[in-house]
Amino acid sequence: MSLDKKNIRTLTLEELMDFFKENDMPTFRAKQVYEWLWKKSVSSFEEMRNVSKETIQLLDEHFVILHAKITESQKSADRTIKSAFGLYDNNNVEGVLIPTKSRMTACISSQVGCSLTCKFCATGKLDRLRNLHADEIYDQIFMLNEQALSNYNQKLSNIVYMGMGEPLLNYRNVLESIDKITSTDGLGMSPKRITVSTAGIAKLIKKLGDDEVKFNLALSLHAANDKKRDYIMPINEQNSLEALKEAIVYFYEKTQTRITYEYIIFKDFNDEISDAQELASFAKITPCKINIIEYNPIDDGEFQQAKREKVYAFVSYLESKNLIVNVRRSRGKDIDAACGQLANKLVKS
């Protein structure tokens, strides 16, 4: 799709007001249009019902709304819903709605594909084609919220940037999308309900601290041993555990936000008590919590789920060191919607 018109959602409210001034139209129109674009998330100017035909014509001459759309959805036996989002350039990303008794969580993507090649992740086997724009990230959340309301009569309570891509490698757009989600002009959600998950890029974790972000940070750790982490997560070769420690301490000092460590436990790889000892030592650097996540198999079959008794022993050791530990059972495995399984397998319409 060639773009001879500007994407209107790249404009701030002030820039939109300037546009109306330049075209000798009242600036209050800008606020009306802005509300339609974000709070109501319309996909065409014609849907703006309280805006004059003259205004719609003017907008249509200069701008386009590049709205993502749901092209396919699948519902799991556990009520998890995975959706494919079609983008303006015919690329696709996937997002997941995860309902539980206490939460309604949207898991969203930040990139088309991924460049990190983590061995246990289906998305890591795709090429990274491009970063998502802030409005494309926002569209996923808006539509998953609509999906939550229509399917479960509940609105979203939590958002996790844990879908396709590495959020910190799309730093500006991710932070812009969070600004819009938390703004009264957007969805008005609390930043404390939002978690950004990173594979661990030390300098950008420090930048989050410098920017004094209010949302939560999760680190996909999966091994607290450089040799093992190098093997499953090549990014560790440039972002060693020592470098990550320094960045996490810096982030905590700047934000006072407790970090979450995500640890997928693999059979005969990182499931021994010695691995738990390394994890406990690493985790003690700042206040934190640890999510132990069961492995979700992908097509290559290199890794397997750890045995249940190994998981229990692992968790018991961590708890004996006064660490906060949660065991996360996978959701949506039957539709490849669980952690690490997103790989654009849904059919495009």
Catalytic residues: 94, 339
CA distances from 241 to 95, 220, 282 (A): 30, 12, 8
In angstroms, the CA 247 to CA 252 distance is: 9
Strand stretches in the chain, DSSP E: 6-7, 63-64, 69-75, 81-86, 92-99, 104-107, 111-112, 130-131, 158-161, 194-198, 216-220, 259-265, 288-294, 324-328
Q: What angle do CA 43, 132, 300 make, to 5 degrees?
A: 120
Q: Which of 163, 72, 160, 79 is nearest to 122 (CA)?
A: 163
3-state class (DSSP) for residue 158: strand
Please check whether residue 274 is in contact with residue 219, taking contact to mean a CB–CB distance below 8 angstroms. no
Q: Which of 61, 63, 39 is nearest to 50 (CA)?
A: 39
Please check whether residue 78 is in contact with residue 97, taking contact to mean a CB–CB distance below 8 angstroms. no
